[in-house]
Amino acid sequence: MENVIAFVRTYNEVLVLAALGLSFILIILLTSNLYRMGKVVKKYNQLMKGMEGKNLEEMLTSHLKTVNKMFSKTLEIESEYKSAKKMAEKSVQRLEIVRFNAFDDTGSDLSFAVAMLDSFGDGVVLSSLFARDETRTYAKPVNKGQSNYHLSDEEKEVIRLAMEKKVY
């Protein structure tokens, strides 16, 4: 014990300087750790925002339930989208009209042919032939841009123009 006391008396200034240096290093490390801890606490508070009284496990469970609900809703919306897409494909998307003069003894282009086709080229072509004494109307089914019935040049033309239209 006397040896320790003699050592401390001999190196008193050196030991005090070493203790001060060590204290200074520890203060720097403590400040650095407090700064880092502050950043972690800030991130944690942002993560837990709006979750008063709940722990991290409860928050994650709550978010997982929300994600599952959104996934289920997404599947439902996807199903409805596919149904709406099928319906849209079968609706009239290609509409065209051609007016013409069917007979030499009438003036103006009072006769017409109208093509109403879906995205597949299926639908109907309507023709109205205007004459001085009468008007005749014809409806002919169209399948993939073709008809099993005889088509006039104007009906063929209106179907061709309709088939060239962009489908959405």
pTM of the model: 0.57
Could you report the per-residue pLDDT of 31-81, keeping only the tens digit for each? 999 999 999 999 888 877 776 766 778 878 888 999 999 999 999 999 999
Residues 156, 93: Cα–Cα separation, whole Å:
18
Could you report the per-residue pLDDT of 105-121, keeping only the tens digit for each? 767 788 999 999 999 99
Residues 36, 110: Cα–Cα separation, whole Å:
85
* 62, 63, 79, 156 from 70: Cα distances, Å: 13, 10, 14, 50
